[in-house]
Amino acid sequence: MGHLKRRRLLLRAARTLAAVTALVAAAAPAPAAPREAAPAGDCPRLSGKWADGNRERLQRLIDTVGPCATGHRGARPVAVFDWDNTLVKNDVTDATLSWALRHDRLRRPADWSDTSPWLTPAAEGALRAACGRKPAGGAMPTSAMPACADEISLIRETGRTAAGVRAFAGSWNHRRTVPQYAWVPRLFAGLTEQEVREVAAAAREEALAAPVGSTVRLGTRSVPAYVRYYEQQRELVAALRRAGFAVHVVSAGFEPVTEVWSRALGVDARHTVAIRAVTDARGRITMDAEGCGGVGVNRGEAIPYVEGKRCWINERIYGVRGAAAWQRQRPARRPALGAGDADTDVTFVGDATGLRVVLDRHKPEIMCRALDDADGRWLVQPMFLEPLAPPRGRYPCSTTAFTLPDGSGAPVRRDDGTVIPDQPR
């Protein structure tokens, strides 16, 4: 990453005191919450190992925007983090689904087509054949049905059946949802949210105990067995909270699962946003989910995914209602810090007014924006644990790296409309 370091040094040399002043002025407030700030001028210090001066820049944000330094007693600045592969290594929803499949915790739907409006006949047939038909609503013995575990986990991971056939088809807004993510809460239909939390807690205990790099047998395949909190991120979240920031998590996972994991970082359920299922009169999870930005109860057409994450942040944190929640808000109603690892995070991370942290997993749109670094606020950070090897070639920023609502590719454009040139991987 030597070329990145040189570019950043040049950019930092060009910045003036006015830029710091603008950063302070742009800090986004959140609704008032119990104060956890240290006394003014006594900000917490970061000590973790980061790449290319990233820790120093994060510290400067805390020291200039944090109420610990400013003594500001009004609404607190906001920091928003994605969860999977941003605050932890590996995916907690996958870990939870794996545990549920290996312990027979899912119930058989009356009709697999009910689980997604986009499920293809081929996928429906594969699930029926592998998982059986009866009894509807009963627990599926997936630990003894490896073909069933394979079909469910592969459709979740790849959007394809074990035979390699597309599991989802039709039309959806690719900047508001992805069918296999929206599918997961429906797999837990019939359980209560508390039962899902219990499954997630058992999966968490298992995943944290598993050695780094280990795998577990799921169906006929080996899948990652472990999850780890990134210690640098744990320290950053704690420092931000002590400095007076309101720290939130926004994820395209299932909300009861994410809540189990986020509370270990001091982020409670009220500050954790993910896909929220609608429950019935008995408190059991249904096939419906809550919407956002004027989209009501739905079957997955709108989830916290790409622009959906912006919508849920605007609605849940800032109280923006209706269609306006899908739009970028003025600086005073945007996070001061955003952090993510994938294209699903690119919109909300790009909305941050202070710093935008990207855990580098080689995802094209977010990396195009981060490497272009048009306003000097993006930080690229290799994964703290088992970082990916540098890929070859260049990101196709000028041609196809931006995903349009219909799923086709287009150039990635800066805020001023100019096209970002292809960036080195």
- pLDDT tens digits, residue range 28-61? 443 333 334 444 468 999 999 999 999 999 999 9
- pLDDT tens digits, residue range 295-352? 999 999 999 999 999 999 999 999 999 999 999 999 999 999 999 999 999 999 999 9
- For residue 123, give the 3-state DSSP assignment: helix
Q: Is residue 146 part of a domain?
A: yes
CA distances from 66 to 91, 240, 248, 271, 380 (A): 30, 8, 15, 18, 22
More confident residue, 137 or 316: 316
pLDDT band at 277 (very low <50, low <70, confident <90, very high): very high
55-59, 131-135, 187-191: lowest mean pLDDT where? 131-135
Q: Which two tokens stand for residue 130?
A: 């592998």
> Residue 20 above 70 pLDDT?
no
Q: Is residue 116 part of a domain?
A: yes
Q: Is residue 86 part of a domain?
A: no
Q: Is residue 380 part of a domain?
A: no
Q: Is residue 115 part of a domain?
A: yes
Q: Is residue 99 part of a domain?
A: yes
> Residue 417 above 70 pLDDT?
yes
Average of per-residue pLDDT values in the chain:
92
Cα 10 to Cα 241: distance, rounded to the nearest angstrom: 31
Query: Residue 42 has what pLDDT?
Result: 87
Domain count, the chain: 1
Percent of the chain with pLDDT over 70: 90
Q: Is residue 98 part of a domain?
A: yes
Closest C-alpha to 361, from 2, 154, 102, 89:
89
Q: Is residue 324 part of a domain?
A: no
Residue 198's domain spans which residues?
Answer: 92-224
Query: Residue 351 has what pLDDT?
Result: 98
pTM: 0.90
